[in-house]
């Protein structure tokens, strides 16, 4: 639940209530790519520096130690010993950052692992499965982050595909949250606004996904 406390112009001060605690916004999100902050920063250290939420990477955790292993250990909160909110990205950024190692299709994306070169497939359902295994507080929808600059026609088609992927994410997340094996049956789902640098695509896409009434939204790169 998002509660606006004060607004001055476009600046907003608010609270975002999650199953693992309340985030005072605006907030800095500490990055724990593989479940740990670099520099041997412990969960206790994070509490001391008043960290409110940390971000973990779905793609990297899927590769190692493996999301199934994390689930066996009780999910990311047990794995990291951090009991506050955790956001997991969807793996969508790797669609962009691993451009030389991937192939995008309607069903999802085929990767070559940057570690050992093995073939990996990730689509909306796979991304939701992995994030459900991780048991994060907030899961991000699977999307494509286009390069900059990117042709208008390609960006338009990518946005349409991202919307179709989002609807598949919603369906799968609902199934997972209602399953008996869910680590976090109250896992939240955020949609991601795309459209490159084209104002009309950005605006139209935001209007379209806002109608889906998700737990939250992010502005994609």
Q: Is residue 218 pLDDT above 90, yes or no? A: yes
pTM across the whole model: 0.95
Q: How confident is the model at residue 217 (pLDDT cuts 50, 70, 90)?
A: very high
Dist. CA 86–CA 72, nearest whole Å: 18
CATH of the domain at 167: 3.20.20.105
- CA separation for the pair 113, 52 (Å, rounded): 32
Query: Is residue 194 a contact partner of residue 144, using CB atoms and an 8 Å limit?
Result: yes
Domain with 212 in it: 2-219
Average pLDDT for residues 147-167, to the nearest whole number?
A: 96
Q: Which pLDDT band, with edges at 50, 70 and 90, does 38 fall under?
A: confident
Residue 101's pLDDT is 72
How, if at all, do strands 188-193 and 216-219 pair? parallel
Which tops the pLDDT comparison, 114 or 210? 210
pLDDT score of 112: 82
Give the pLDDT confidence of 123-144 residue by residue, as tens digits. Answer: 999 999 999 999 999 999 999 9
Task: Indicate if the pLDDT at residue 29 is higher than 80.
Answer: yes
Residue that is written with structure tokens 């971000």 in the block: 55
- pLDDT confidence of 11, banded at 50, 70, 90? very high
User: Bigger pLDDT: 156 or 101?
Assistant: 156
Query: Residue 101: which of 110, 89, 91 has the closest Cα?
Result: 110
pLDDT grade, residue 8 (50/70/90)? very high
Residue 99's pLDDT band (cuts 50, 70, 90): low
Residue 162 pLDDT > 90: yes
| Cβ atoms within 10 Å of 88's Cβ, excluding its own | 26
What confidence tier does 67 reach under pLDDT thresholds 50, 70, 90?
Answer: very high
Per-residue model confidence (pLDDT) at position 111: 80
pLDDT 10s digits, 175-201: 999 999 999 999 999 999 999 999 999
Short-list 164, 188, 153, CA closest to 174? 188
Helices within the chain (DSSP H only): 43-48, 58-63, 67-72, 76-80, 92-97, 124-134, 152-177, 199-210
* pLDDT surpasses 80 at 95: no
Average model confidence (pLDDT) for the chain?
94
Domain count within the chain: 1
Per-residue confidence band for 214, with pLDDT thresholds at 50, 70 and 90: very high
């Amino acid at each position: 639940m998002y509660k606006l406390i004060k607004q001055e112009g476009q600046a907003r001060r608010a609270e975002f209530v999650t199953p693992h605690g309340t985030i005072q916004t605006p907030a800095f999100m500490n990055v724990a790519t593989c479940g740990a902050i670099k520099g041997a920063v412990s969960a206790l250290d994070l509490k001391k520096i008043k960290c409110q939420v940390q971000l973990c990477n779905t793609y990297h955790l899927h590769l190692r130690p493996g999301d199934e292993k994390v689930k066996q250990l009780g999910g990311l909160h047990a794995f990291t010993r951090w009991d506050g909110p955790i956001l997991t990205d969807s793996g969508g950024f790797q669609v962009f950052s691993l451009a030389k190692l991937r192939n995008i299709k309607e069903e999802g994306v085929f990767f070559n692992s940057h570690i050992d070169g093995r073939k990996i497939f990730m689509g909306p359902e796979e991304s939701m499965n992995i994030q459900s295994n991780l048991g994060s507080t907030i899961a991000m929808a699977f999307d494509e982050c286009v390069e900059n600059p990117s042709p208008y026609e390609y960006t338009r088609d990518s946005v349409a595909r991202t919307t179709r992927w989002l609807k598949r994410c919603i369906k799968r997340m609902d199934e997972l949250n209602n399953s008996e094996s869910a680590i976090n049956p109250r896992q939240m789902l955020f949609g991601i606004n795309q459209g490159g640098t084209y104002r009309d695509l950005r605006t139209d896409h935001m209007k379209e996904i806002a109608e889906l009434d998700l737990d939250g939204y992010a502005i994609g790169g």
